[in-house]
Amino acid sequence: MSSPEVVIGVDIGGTNLRTGVVDRTGNLSQFAITSSRKKLAGSKSAGRLVEYIGDYIAQAGVSPRAIAIGFPSTVDNTRRVVLSTSNIPGFNGMPFADLFEEALGIPTFLNRDTNMLLLHDIRSAGLEDKKVIVGCYPGTGFGSGLWIGGRLHVGKTGCEGELGHIPVKGSERVCGCGNVGCVEAIASGKYLEYLLAEHFPGTPIGEAFTRHADTEVLRDFIDNLSLPIASAINILDPDAVIVGGGVTAMPGFPRDYLVERVRARARKPEPEASLNLVFAEPRQENGVIGAGIYGFSRLEASA
Ligand SMILES: [Zn+2]
């Protein structure tokens, strides 16, 4: 009996490096999680990633059809080169698909981590037959992804769907991208940390909403989160909006109030009246499973 076709899914975050074996139906096995800081710190981080995945495949004892990797980065429009990564030194401009294919002889596909999450969430919500879907993932920053025409949207340079960098007037905060006034600078976990230090010193980040959700400071923060979400809704009139990310998964996060603010800012009567906003259930494995789904879709596209 031949072994089932599998893809190695990899999800690289600023904190964790997650890897797994994913089959065509999205089933995950041999899930592994390690510290990306430890594995990828210092110089030669790209080479060490290749080595880690090579060792993982050898230990897993599988012959994968492909490797698919989600990076916390912008990725070029061919999805073969990582363009810029703020969290991990040594990744900028790295042709990872070439590096992996030369070292391991396995077809390798790259994408942004949030696009992998979006693929996972689209499948788990049963939305794969829909044409237009927006994924919003407020975590450390404000991650996002666009599904247009029944597939992940790719722009001219590959840097599409950057909802976190929608400019807002009145904010003088400098964004990680270098611009002033990006919405991400006031709609992200990083800004939430700043708000806690400023207004509620001593509150651990995990208790932000259980303790202070009803204060004006945090209600205003939730309103900030609604800005990029409602902007995307008004531009795209999507079949569905998927909202996930670490911030929305925090205990006591006021989902109802976020929906209320999104609806307040969406155009009336449509697309507001028909808005389908779905909250994703964030799990450690989602990005790896999404990468597996992406790997199979790329294999099919090139077949
Ligand atoms: Zn920005």
How remote is the CA of residue 163 from the centroid of ligand 1, in Å?
9
Are residues 248 and 172 located together in one domain of the fold? Answer: yes
Residues 205 and 262 in one domain: yes
49 with 134, same domain?
Answer: no
Other C-beta atoms lying within 10 Å of the C-beta of residue 285 = 17
Per-residue pLDDT for 247 more than 60? yes
pLDDT score for 1: 46
Query: What's 184's domain CATH number?
Result: 3.30.420.40
* Residue 238 maps to a domain: yes
* Centroid of ligand 1 to alpha carbon of 165 (angstroms): 4
- Over residues 163-170, the mean pLDDT reads 96
223 alpha carbon – ligand 1 mean position (Å): 18
Measured in Å, residue 168 CA sits from the centre of ligand 1 at 11
Q: How many domains does the chain have?
A: 2
Residue 121 lies in a domain: no
What is the 3-class SS of 52-98, one letter each residue? HHHHHHHHHCCCCCEEEEEECEEECCCCCCEEEECCCCCCCCCCHHH
| Three-class secondary structure assignment of the chain | CCCCCEEEEEEECCCEEEEEEEECCCCEEEEEEEEHHHHHCCCCHHHHHHHHHHHHHHHHCCCCCEEEEEECEEECCCCCCEEEECCCCCCCCCCHHHHHHHHHCCCEEEEEHHHHHHHHHHHHCCCCCCCEEEEEEECCCEEEEEEECCEECCCCCCCCCCHHHCECCCCCCECCCCCECEHHHHCCHHHHHHHHHHHCCCCCHHHHHHHHCCCHHHHHHHHHHHHHHHHHHHHHCCCEEEECCCCCCCCCCCHHHHHHHHHHHCCCCCCCCCCCEEECCCCCCHHHHHHHHHHHHHHHHHC
Residue 145 domain-assigned (yes or no): yes
167 Cα: distance to centroid of ligand 1 (angstroms): 8
State the pTM of this model: 0.96
Ligand 1 centroid – CA 179 distance (Å):
5
Does 138 map to a domain?
Answer: yes
Would residue 70 count as lying in a domain? Answer: yes
pLDDT tens track for 283-302: 999 999 999 999 999 999 98
Identify whether residues 141 and 200 lie together within a single domain. Answer: yes
CA of 227 to the centre of ligand 1 (A): 14
Question: What pLDDT score was predicted for residue 155?
Answer: 97
Q: How far is the CA of 185 from the centre of ligand 1 (A)?
A: 7
Contacts of 209 (CB under 8 A, 6+ apart): 218, 250, 251, 252, 253, 254
Residues 83 and 149 in one domain: no
Higher local confidence (pLDDT), 186 or 38: 186
Q: Express each pLDDT in 143-159 by its tens digit.
A: 999 999 999 999 999 99
CA of 142 to the centre of ligand 1 (A): 10
Residue 132 has pLDDT above 60, yes or no: yes
Q: How many angstroms does the Cα of residue 31 sit away from the middle of ligand 1?
A: 33
CA of 146 to the centre of ligand 1 (A): 18
The predicted structure's pLDDT at residue 233: 98
Q: Report CA(106)–ligand 1 centroid distance (Å).
A: 35
Q: Are residues 214 and 229 in the same domain?
A: yes
196 and 292: one domain?
no
pLDDT in tens, 21-73: 999 999 999 999 999 888 888 789 999 999 999 999 999 999 999 999 999 99
CA of 201 to the centre of ligand 1 (A): 27
pLDDT band at 2 (very low <50, low <70, confident <90, very high): low
- Res 282: pLDDT: 87
Could you tell me the distance, in angstroms and rounded to a whole number, from the CA of residue 87 to the centre of ligand 1? 14
What order do you get walking across the sheet with 132-138 strand by strand?
151-152, 142-148, 132-138, 240-243, 277-279
Distance 116 CA to ligand 1 centre (A): 21
Look over the chain and give the mean of its residue pLDDT values, rounded to a whole number.
Answer: 96
6 C-alpha to center of ligand 1: Å? 37
Average pLDDT estimate for 128-145:
96
- pLDDT at res. 280: 97
> For residue 11, how far is its CA from the centre of ligand 1 (angstroms)?
23
Together in a domain, 170 and 266:
yes
The per-residue pLDDT for 211 is 98
Claim to verify: residue 219 and residue 256 sit in the same structural domain = yes
Are residues 85 and 151 both part of a single domain?
A: no
Q: What is the pLDDT of residues 188-226, one digit of tens each?
A: 999 999 999 999 999 999 999 999 999 999 999 999 999
In a domain, 124, yes or no: no
| HEC per residue, 4-44 | CCEEEEEEECCCEEEEEEEECCCCEEEEEEEEHHHHHCCCC
Residue 81 belongs to domain spanning? 6-115+284-302
Q: Are residues 158 and 233 in the same domain?
A: yes
